[in-house]
Structure 1
Amino acid sequence: MAYTGSYQTQVFAAGGSPFPFTPKGLEEAARRDMPREHFDYIAGGAGRERTVAANEAAFGRWGLTYRVLRDGAPADPSRTVLGTPMSMPVMLAPAGVAELAHPEAEAAAARAAERVGAVQVLSAVTSTPLEDVAEAAPNGQRWFQFAWPDDEKLARSLIERAEAAGYTAIVVMGDCHVAGWRTRELSSGFFPFQHAHGLGNYVSDRRFWELAGFGSVPDGLTPEMVAAAAETWNRVFTKPALQPEDLALLRSWTSLPIVVKGVCRPDEATRLCAEGVDGLIVSNHGGRQLDAGVAALDCLPPVAAAVGGRVPVLFDSGVRTGTDALIALALGADAVMIGRPWLYGLAVGGQAGVEHVLRSLREEFTGALALTGHRTCASLSEADVRAVPPTEKGMTA
């Protein structure tokens, strides 16, 4: 049993880590380090947050089957999805307004992802303009989340900018066309976009300022400009009527792969495949949009079955550990994404905190991959998991 070169070895050699290793410990550390309204914006979900709880609880209904007497050769957790290589099948989800966690925001996360070999999926509502994020980690792998604006010129501008900056896939945000009923935000009275937080991609765009009544991108924001930016963004952020057949228009704007995020139904997965998408993401927006929703993990197997291997299927919503990622891959995902965990890591340690989260996930995932009898992710299947009866929950040896 060799730890040589592992993240565990580094931690032991250093006599420990300044950052927590458990999901709950990381969340509590972020809670302590962040202003209450900022933490509640990131951690909160819709309504009574039953969907948030369901997402995490769903992983507890599956158990991994352990295999013995194997050759012991190191497992390789790397994957390539839509031509994008990654050191492990765990990506940074497009979680927005990262400046609420740390001043260096998405740029710090980009540097962390580059160092670990993870893919960053940049949110539409970033604190840092997409070009600056790319410059912060020029050798990193990046996809761009596209919230389709209700203005074609702005929509095309965002796509053209992402392509020019080296993003290698477009992720269409399909699960946020109506604002969720987010009780924590309502209770605090804090809406970040009202203060121009998270509008980095917009306030750096000439077309956006034309819509706001200004002729060019300003060097700085006056209170009048902040108010105009917030009003304009709220008015044009998403196109109210967006249909699967509209993806043909997007295809005419870009040669990049197109992935649709927010798919939870097999019939919609089938329709989107027929419309020629290059990939799907099973997600319920981390429980931030619809309360009392079905756990995203429960939606994964039927969606994967409907897709039938025609396009990659990715997954997010509720992934907290390396074994969570392994369960999702066994149930049909090609890779997973994490949202709140990387923001918590950012809050407690900036770039180093995000690196800690990613290295911990990679280490746990790689070990679990080997312990379940696999050398690579490609051989994972439903044979590696079984449903855990309710009587077995919480049992310990």
Structure 2
Amino acid sequence: MVHYGDYQMEIYRAGLDGRLPKLPVDFRSLEAWAHAAMPPGLVSYVAGGCGNEHTQDINVSAFERWGLIPRMFVGAAKRDMSIDLFGMRLPSPIFMSPIGVIGVCAQDGLGDIATAKAARKLGVPMVASTLSNIPLEEVASEFGDTPGFFQLYTPTDRALAESLVRRAEAAGFKGIVVTLDTWVTGWRPRDLNQSNFPFLRGHCLGNYFSDPVFRASLADPLDEDMQAGIMQWGKIFGNPLNWDDLPWLRSLTKLPLIMKGICHPDDARRAIDAGVDGIYCSNHGGR
């Protein structure tokens, strides 16, 4: 793994010639730049959370309570943060979380592709969202040797769910991450105040609109009645899964199956006993 000190010196040497970094290197400044580049409705969706956003804020402060105690005299010039996971050797225990509207966070609408390219360059696996501007096959084609995982919002149409999983397998994804806490959309005041819901405007539905099962469910082709396609997505999006559905989910794939949204240890034990390969602890910003 490249030593971050090398990158620092590259910046400092450039400063001798009067050249500053093209982008800020601290998170708050980078976040401010990003917000300035996006329309207000998109900022509210990306930066906002559920309710009064207390849980979203607590997620950050909870991590801030943790610290690292370095050990000296160990000659740590060469770092090894690699881990073994699901039969793969990864350079670090870091993943890119699935972000549903990342496609429209780029001016060209190709934010999913840009993220996949970053994953390939850095060796950090991307968890690609179902809610993508770009079909999952095109996203996966940018991974190179970096493994990618596919996050599934399980629709009420089981045939469509199976189709999405089969496509992910065929595209080369290395695992399926099933989100459990979004059978109803979150109560997001920032977006509600602006009547802003990107998907009802046709954004980030590329995986549905490119799916043969979804397209076959439409009375008319999408290019003739896009609004009907969007409304059909709204009808099948939320699936209140229960434990009886888990054997079916497990039967869909031989890939590692990860459950996203589990927070209670009893749920974690029950899921593992039922054949789940991994637990993704997440409260989804207050869902």
Same fold (TM over 0.5): yes
User: What one-letter code is carried by the residue in structure 2 that aligns with 1:33?
Assistant: A
- How many residues in Structure 1 have an aligned counterpart in Structure 2? 280
- Give the equivalent residue in structure 2 for 1:239: 239
Pick which of 255-264 and 131-140 moved more.
131-140
Shift of 1:252: 2.0
- Say whether residues 1:82 and 2:73 are aligned partners: no
| Cα distance in 2, alignment partners of residues 267 and 105 from structure 1 | 37
User: What one-letter code is carried by the residue in structure 2 that aligns with 1:25?
Assistant: S
- Say whether residues 1:9 and 2:9 are aligned partners: yes
- Give the equivalent residue in structure 2 for 1:329: none
What secondary structure is seen at the aligned counterpart in 2 of 1:68? Answer: coil
The TM-score with structure 2 as length reference comes to 0.91
Q: 1:10 to 1:183 in 2, by over 3 A?
A: same
Shift of 1:3: 6.2
What secondary structure is seen at the aligned counterpart in 2 of 1:143? Answer: strand
- Say whether residues 1:192 and 2:191 are aligned partners: no
Instruction: List gaps (5 residues or longer) in structure 1.
Output: 291-397
Shift of 1:80: 2.8
- Give the equivalent residue in structure 2 for 1:265: 264
User: What one-letter code is carried by the residue in structure 1 that aligns with 2:24?
Assistant: P
| Cα distance in 1, alignment partners of residues 3 and 205 from structure 2 | 43
- Say whether residues 1:55 and 2:54 are aligned partners: no
User: What one-letter code is carried by the residue in structure 1 that aligns with 2:234?
Assistant: N
| Cα distance in 1, alignment partners of residues 13 and 86 from structure 2 | 38
Q: Aligned runs of 1:171-210 on 2, under 5 Å?
A: 171-210=177-216
- Give the equivalent residue in structure 1 for 2:45: 41
| Cα distance in 2, alignment partners of residues 104 and 48 from structure 1 | 31
| Cα distance in 1, alignment partners of residues 88 and 246 from structure 2 | 22
Q: Aligned runs of 1:139-288 on 2, under 5 Å?
A: 139-214=145-220, 221-222=223-224, 224-225=225-226, 227-240=227-240, 242-285=241-284, 287=285
Shift of 1:214: 3.4
- Give the equivalent residue in structure 2 for 1:376: none
- Say whether residues 1:104 and 2:103 are aligned partners: no
User: What one-letter code is carried by the residue in structure 1 that aligns with 2:64?
Assistant: G
Shift of 1:190: 1.4
Structure with greater proportional helix content: 1
The TM-score with structure 1 as length reference comes to 0.67
| Cα distance in 2, alignment partners of residues 91 and 79 from structure 1 | 12
Higher relative contact order (CA 8 A, sep 6+): 1
What secondary structure is seen at the aligned counterpart in 2 of 1:80? Answer: strand
Assess if the C-alpha contact under 8 Å between 2:263 and 2:281 holds in 1: yes
| Cα distance in 2, alignment partners of residues 80 and 278 from structure 1 | 14
What secondary structure is seen at the aligned counterpart in 1 of 2:95? Answer: strand
User: C-alpha offsets along residues 85-127 of structure 1, whole Å, 9 cap, x if unaligned?
Assistant: 3322211111012232102211111011101101010001111
Shift of 1:10: 3.1
Assess if the C-alpha contact under 8 Å between 1:87 and 1:116 holds in 2: no
| Cα distance in 2, alignment partners of residues 90 and 82 from structure 1 | 14
User: C-alpha offsets along residues 174-207 of structure 1, whole Å, 9 cap, x if unaligned?
Assistant: 1212211101111122110111101010000111
| Cα distance in 2, alignment partners of residues 119 and 18 from structure 1 | 25
| Cα distance in 2, alignment partners of residues 4 and 112 from structure 1 | 17
Instruction: List gaps (5 residues or longer) in structure 2.
Output: none
Assess if the C-alpha contact under 8 Å between 2:120 and 2:142 holds in 1: no
| Cα distance in 2, alignment partners of residues 12 and 139 from structure 1 | 32
Assess if the C-alpha contact under 8 Å between 2:104 and 2:110 holds in 1: no
User: What one-letter code is carried by the residue in structure 1 that aligns with 2:181?
Assistant: D
| Cα distance in 1, alignment partners of residues 98 and 4 from structure 2 | 33
What secondary structure is seen at the aligned counterpart in 1 of 2:67? Answer: strand
Assess if the C-alpha contact under 8 Å between 2:96 and 2:127 holds in 1: yes
| Cα distance in 1, alignment partners of residues 97 and 282 from structure 2 | 11
What secondary structure is seen at the aligned counterpart in 2 of 1:146? Answer: strand
| Cα distance in 2, alignment partners of residues 72 and 205 from structure 1 | 49
CA RMSD of aligned residues (A): 1.9
